[in-house]
Amino acid sequence: MSDIIKLLPDHVANQIAAGEVVQRPASVVKELLENAIDAGASSIKLLVKDAGRTLIQVIDDGKGMSPTDARLSFERHATSKINAADDLFALSTKGFRGEALASIAAVAHVDLKTKPEDEEVGTQIEIEGSTIKNQEVCAAVKGTSIAVKNLFFNIPARRNFLKSDSVELRHVIDEFQRVALAHETIAFTLYHNDSELFNLPKTNKRQRIVGVFGPKTNEKLVPVSEETEIVNIDGFIIKPEFSKKTKGEQFFFVNDRFIKHPYLNHSVSAAFDGLLPDRARASYFIYLKVDPKTIDINIHPTKTEVKFEDEHAIYTLLRAAVKHSLGQFNIAPVLDFNRESNMDTPYAYKNKEAKPPKVEVDRHFNPFEEEQKVTTSGFKSAPSYEKKSAAGWENLYAGLDRKTDTSGFSHVEIEQEPETESLFIEHESKGFSESKETENDSANTYQIHSKYIVSAIKSGMMLIDQNRAHQRILYEEFLRNITVKESVSQQLLFPLRLDFSASEIEILKELKDSLENTGFALSMPEAGVLEVSGIPASIQESEVSIVLEQLLSDVEQEVPNAGFSQTDVLAKSMAKSMAVKTGEKLDERSREHLVNKLFACTEPTLSPFLKKTFITLTVEELDRKFNA
């Protein structure tokens, strides 16, 4: 039998290794930024073109590399971070596997320029698919500049699996933010297609968070701090009233390394128990410092998952620290038996004796005198009032012996929940309701528990879910408006100014045309600010921020290229946000119009999320229930 096991060629092995490390352009960004940090850089610049497909370039002012080090850095398992296996349990650097640059060079064109501070000239290396094409001396400044071009040029299948530029750019921004948040003492700059997205100077943790997520974030932050022998906890939590229904702003850093840890996330969520709105999630920026010997960070190729030696203790300490901050800054209700500060004696009166107040009384004042007189004490008496005759006091009780006349009451109004205004304009054509059998002018629809609409039909009765039905109506309207580009917009007297992060602004830029086709009038006068001067006719001004936040959440969570267009995601998100909710009371005309418009839809039986909008019960089914 012939041998069938063979050693793989180096270029094939590198491409396989690249599949573990380089999954998308954001993976390259992460590895290059971490290398720049390990090089001791104080300023790092990231340039990206076409979301990383065409170019990813990182320029730093670190220590640089000699010609030999520059050549060896592209070899597999070549690293300056560890020398022995024991070093894995005392890591203080980012990259240590020695596979990042080798994996990147295997699937891209790489151009490296580097120069140490004490050298007069630098080194330039050009690599294409693990093959070194050129190495020469060049003029360069202190530090390293590495450009990764045409990612996955030699693996077309992997390149075809990349998502749209907008999706890939969001992943690049996510990796950039994670690194920037963990290293506030380093200046970071991000450019995409020659447009500056971030410019973060050296600062402290709080200002770095504000620089990444916008100036409005500052008022939302509550500091957390705790020092123990096991772990040092530092960072910030977001006030409960600013929490979101997504887990976007949840950041854990262990020894300045971003990690994902569901167990610790549960610890923070447990501390917020009872404080968060319905279905909202806690947001936080937590920095943990532990002994490197007590964690294992080599359990995942991307090093975003770690294993703690004593997870339960860290869980307990973290929850206690967050609870303490919530109580200390009056975020959570607490029992305080200390005296009230407003009951204390003012400082200016602290050493003064209490004196009884002097009360002066005019003893000659006579309220029954008709004229005002001057008393002997020199005080004027109070003005006299005209004495009323007491003879007519019986008139106060006149008529009480007779029976109360109730003929003046035409009707009695009973207080009840206010009904919402009509959901639809009045000139809608009648459709479904005309086909019903109506013998009088009484209501044809009824509402049950402010959730279901009951309507009689020839064969029996119909139960309609008002929320799902309205979602279907709005969904088809938005799709039609976006496609036809005809929508009704109401202009605002005073434009709304809303603050968003840089990544959210990028998403809104992509959706701007579609949003304007639904009735929004948008502009972006400055970085991080969205100005809304017009809104769709079917939305209230107070709901604009809620609709846009829900839209951003849905776009970020939607699986890209899964058979749904951006227009479909937008229409679904807005329909979900603006549809009448369960618990809202509808008047008769709104119920009728909702039924009519539902059955005028192209697919009335299902909501945009493929849930039933109504069910029917025939007379025979009702009879069987009564005769069972």
Structural domain includes residue 33: yes
Give the Å distances, CA to CA, from 421 to 64, 153, 446, 589. 68, 59, 16, 9
Please say which residue of 272, 297, 328 terminates a domain.
328
- Which tokens sit at 219? 């008022």
For the chain, give percent helix, strand, coil, nearest 5.
Answer: 35, 20, 45
Q: Is the pLDDT of residue 415 over 60?
A: no
pLDDT of amino acid 296: 76
Q: Which of 200, 230, 248 is the last residue of a domain?
A: 200
The Cα–Cα gap between 625 and 281 comes to 44
- Axis-axis angle for helices 502-518, 544-557 (nearest 10): 110
**Would residue 210 count as lying in a domain?**
yes
The answer to pTM > 0.85 is: no
> Confidence class of residue 316 from pLDDT cuts 50, 70 and 90?
very high
- Same domain for 175 and 242: no
Max mean pLDDT among 21-25, 346-350, 375-379 falls in 21-25
User: What pLDDT is stored for residue 423 in this prediction?
Assistant: 54
Pairing of strands 521-523, 529-536: antiparallel
Region of residue 285 (phi > 0: left; psi between -120 and 50: alpha; otherwise: beta): beta
Task: Flag whether pLDDT at 436 surpasses 50.
Answer: no
Count of the separate structural domains present in the chain: 2
- The secondary structure element, H or E, covering residue 60 is strand 55-60
User: Which two tokens mark 534?
Assistant: 């017009």
Which whole number is the average pLDDT over 490-494?
Answer: 86
Of 41-50, 100-109, 489-498, 501-510, the least confident: 501-510
Mean of pLDDT values over 118-126: 91
**C-alpha–C-alpha distance, residues 143 and 310, integer Å:** 40
593 by Cβ neighbours in 10 Å (0-12 / 13-18 / 19+) ranks as buried
Tokens 């039924």 correspond to what residue? 595
Residues 126, 28: one domain?
Answer: yes
**Is the CB of residue 31 less than 8 Å from the CB of residue 100?**
yes
Q: Report pLDDT for 300.
A: 57
Q: Give DSSP secondary structure letters for 455-499.
A: EEETTEEEEEEHHHHHHHHHHHHHHHHHHHT---EEEEEEEEEEE
Number of helical (H) and strand (E) elements in the chain, helices listed first: 15, 22
Could you tell me which of 254, 218, 248 has the C-alpha nearest to residue 236? 218
Do residue 32 and residue 181 come from a single domain?
yes
Q: Are residues 166 and 211 in the same domain?
A: no
pLDDT tens digits, residue range 558-583?
A: 544 444 567 788 888 888 888 888 88
Nearest CA to 301 among 112, 451, 161, 98? Answer: 98
Q: Can you tell me the mean pLDDT for 292-317?
A: 78
CATH of the domain at 149: 3.30.565.10
The mean per-residue pLDDT over the stretch 532-550 comes to 83
Residue 608's alpha-carbon distances to 98, 432, 502, 545, in angstroms, are 48, 21, 30, 22
Residue 369, in any domain of the structure? no
Angle at 63 between CA 189 and CA 183, to 5 degrees: 40
One domain, residues 150 and 17? yes
Which two three-digit tokens encode residue 469?
């039905």
In a domain, 104, yes or no: yes
Phi-psi region of 203 (alpha: psi -120 to 50; beta: other; left: phi over 0): beta
d(CA 126, CA 133): 5
For residue 81, tell me if it sits in a domain. Answer: yes
- Identify whether residues 259 and 192 lie together within a single domain: no
The answer to whether residue 374 is domain-embedded is: no
Q: What is the pLDDT of residue 74?
A: 84
Whether 150 and 254 map to the same domain: the answer is no
Mean pLDDT of the region 426-447: 51
When pLDDT is averaged across residues 594-602 and rounded to a whole number, the result is: 90
What pLDDT, on a 0 to 100 scale, did the predictor assign at position 435? Answer: 40
Residues 6+ apart with CB under 8 A from 316: 267
Please report whether residue 22 resides in a domain: yes
Angle (CA) 451 454 458, round 5°: 160
- In-domain check, residue 291: yes
48 and 183 assigned to the same domain: yes
Q: Assign 3-class secondary structure to 32-52.
A: HHHHHHHCCCCEEEEEEEHHH
Nearest to 614 by CA among 605, 625, 623, 622: 605
Poorest-pLDDT segment among 216-225, 296-305, 601-610: 296-305
Asked whether 204 and 244 are in contact (CB, 8 A), the reply is no
> Which of 13-17, 214-218, 268-272: highest mean pLDDT?
268-272
Of 328, 350, 366, at which residue does a domain stop?
Answer: 328
3-state secondary structure of 140: coil
pLDDT band per the 50, 70, 90 thresholds, residue 57: very high
Band of residue 82 on the pLDDT scale cut at 50, 70, 90? low
554 pLDDT above the threshold of 80 = no
Query: How far is Cα 243 from Cα 237, in angstroms, rounded to an integer?
Result: 10
H-run or E-run covering 236:
strand 232-238
Q: Report the mean per-residue pLDDT for the chain.
A: 79
- Report the share of the chain in percent with pLDDT over 70: 76
Nearest by Cα to 175 from 46, 17, 81, 18: 46
Q: What is the mean pLDDT of residues 224-249?
A: 86
| Between 481 and 600, the higher pLDDT residue | 600
Q: What distance in Å separates the CA atoms of residue 526 and residue 514, rounded to the nearest whole number?
A: 21
Burial 350-378 (b: 16+ CB within 10 A, else e): eeeeeeeeeeeeeeeeeeeeeeeeeeeee
Q: pLDDT tens digits for 258-269?
A: 988 888 989 998
Compute the distance between CA of residue 233 and CA of residue 314 in angstroms, rounded to an integer.
10
281 shares its domain with 263? yes
On whether the CB atoms of residues 262 and 296 are closer than 8 A, the answer is no
Full domain range(s) for residue 211: 205-328
**Residue 47 and residue 118 in one domain:** yes
CATH number at residue 225: 3.30.230.10
Give first-to-last CA distance, the chain, whole Å.
76
Same domain? For 240 and 158 the reply is no
Same domain assignment for residues 173 and 305: no
